[in-house]
Amino acid sequence: MNRTDENTLQDVIEQLDEEEASALRSLIDESPELLRQILDEYGYLEEVRATDDGRFISNAESVTLTEAQTELSHHLDSVLKESMTLSEILDEVGSESAEFREQYSSAQYRSWLGDQLAALVSTGHIGRFKKGRTVHYTSTPEEAVRHWGRLNERFPEDISIADVRTISSDTGMPNNVVRDAIRQVSNE
């Protein structure tokens, strides 16, 4: 931790009342793993995984989009004006006349396209939500959070960081993507 981070952390701690500061100190001393779990659940920590050589890397370091995923993301910018299902997206980008399929012949296959969409969701390039048993994709994670709110009879201003885990579970979007989307929706 560098000096600036230490000063910022000290400023934050000084803003806590004595009871909150005491609880935080106890949590750090007695249950650092619980603190890590809580921070992870709310999307404040990137998912960390081990590499073959035993060193750890975070999701942010390991996620890079393929050329096809980048192209699909750009193509979806013009297509995803409304939420769409995988079948609807397949009709748009995987049909014989689609420009994207001319470049990527695998776009005609549901499983390949589903994998590409999952990668875009995991990196926060697009959003997704479930309506019943059907998965819908949106142009942004913020839009997916708004749809989740409508489906759960919640106004955008009533959605908070405390809902991260639930929304992530319901939508299949990563915690950190959901947390950032909630912040954007709350600030509008």
H or E stretch at 58: strand 56-58
Please name which of 153, 149, 152 lies closest in space to residue 185, comparing C-alpha atoms.
Answer: 149
- Tell me what pLDDT residue 61 has: 40
Supply 18's token pair.
């004595």
Task: Please tell me which residue, 8 or 116, carries the higher pLDDT value.
Answer: 116
- pLDDT computed for residue 49 by the predictor: 44
Average pLDDT, the chain: 84
Q: What angle do CA 86, 92, 97 make, to 5 degrees?
A: 140
What contacts 134, CB < 8 A, 6 or more positions away? 85
* Residue 127 β-bridge partners: 138
Q: What is the pLDDT of residue 5?
A: 63
| pLDDT over 90 percentage in the chain | 47
What global pTM score does this model have? 0.70
Query: Mind listing the pLDDT tens digit for each residue in 136-151?
Result: 999 999 999 999 999 9
Half-sphere exposure of 111 (CA within 13 A, CB side): 0
Q: Which residue has the tokens 């996620």?
A: 63
As separate numbers, helices (DSSP H) first and strands (DSSP E) second, the chain gives 11, 5
Q: 50-64, 84-98, 133-147: lowest mean pLDDT where?
A: 50-64
Which is higher by pLDDT, 114 or 44?
A: 114
pLDDT bin (cut points 50, 70, 90) of residue 117 is very high
Query: What number of residues does the chain have?
Result: 188
pLDDT of residue 187: 80
Whether 54 shows a pLDDT value over 50: the answer reads no
Rounded mean pLDDT of 42-65? 52
- What integer pLDDT is reported at residue 153 of this predicted model? 95
- Residue 50 CB coordination number (10 Å): 9
pLDDT digit string (tens) for 119-175?
999 999 999 999 999 999 999 999 999 999 999 999 988 999 889 999 999 999 999
Is residue 18 helix, strand or coil?
Answer: helix
